[in-house]
Chain A
Amino acid sequence: IQLTQSPSSLSASVGDRVTITCRASQGISSYLAWFQQKPGKAPKLLIFGASTLQSGVPSRFSGSGFGTDFTLTISSLQPEDFATYYCQQLNTYPRTFGQGTKVEIK
């Protein structure tokens, strides 16, 4: 299953609302996760089941979607949120990731 994220990169300011989309090449129900990755670090799980926040993740992060279209929203961008975000499908094998969306400072 191919996952296509858009945009590939975006520039935003602190306090902005940011939305990233992930489209699956076929339906994956709600078996989608979102990760945040900072340079030199491992990916960090933010959301699983398309919309459930992993323990300890700030509530400004939210996810939605079902089937083939999903979104990750950051309601009010904070300085520590500048990073690259990846979606991952866990519906079928092999598990696959999107190509990433880099969120940069405007």
Chain B
Amino acid sequence: QVQLQESGPGLVKPSETLSLTCTVSGASISSSYWSWIRQSPGKGLEWIGYISDSGSTNYNPSLESRVTISLDTSKNQLSLKLSSVTAADTAVYYCARFYYNSHAYWVFDFWGQGTLVTVSS
């Protein structure tokens, strides 16, 4: 069973960089694609981006100038960095496996429990 666990500061000051880590167990980080998704009351569920098993990335254009997703294969972790945050970035942040299944469909099949990040001074 694939399990994901997000971690990181729950409070970030405006204009600073939000940094989160997702630790994966039950699967190698090098065996699939991985994604970050966030959920805020105002904007619902928003896909942030993905990183492939080889490290290539694809970001939501609405966030692309501020987002970096990376892998640490030695720790089986992926990370998210979002710079120049504002109150609008307050949300629950989820990591999820982005998997090409045997039916030839991409799916977000395993998710972490999510971590709330509040942007406030």
A-side residues, CB < 8 A to B, are: 31, 33, 41-45, 48-49, 52, 54, 86, 88, 90, 93-100
Contact = CB atoms under 8 A, between A and B. Distances in A.
Contacts of B94: 42-43
Contacts of A98: 44
5 contacts: A33-B108, A42-B94, A42-B113, A86-B45, A97-B46
**Per DSSP, are chain B's interface residues mostly helix, strand or loop, or mixed?**
strand
Given A33-B108, A88-B108, A90-B105, A43 B62 contact: no
Nearest to A93: B58
Interface of B: 44-47, 58, 60-62, 94, 96, 101, 103, 105-109, 111-114
A48 B107 contact: yes
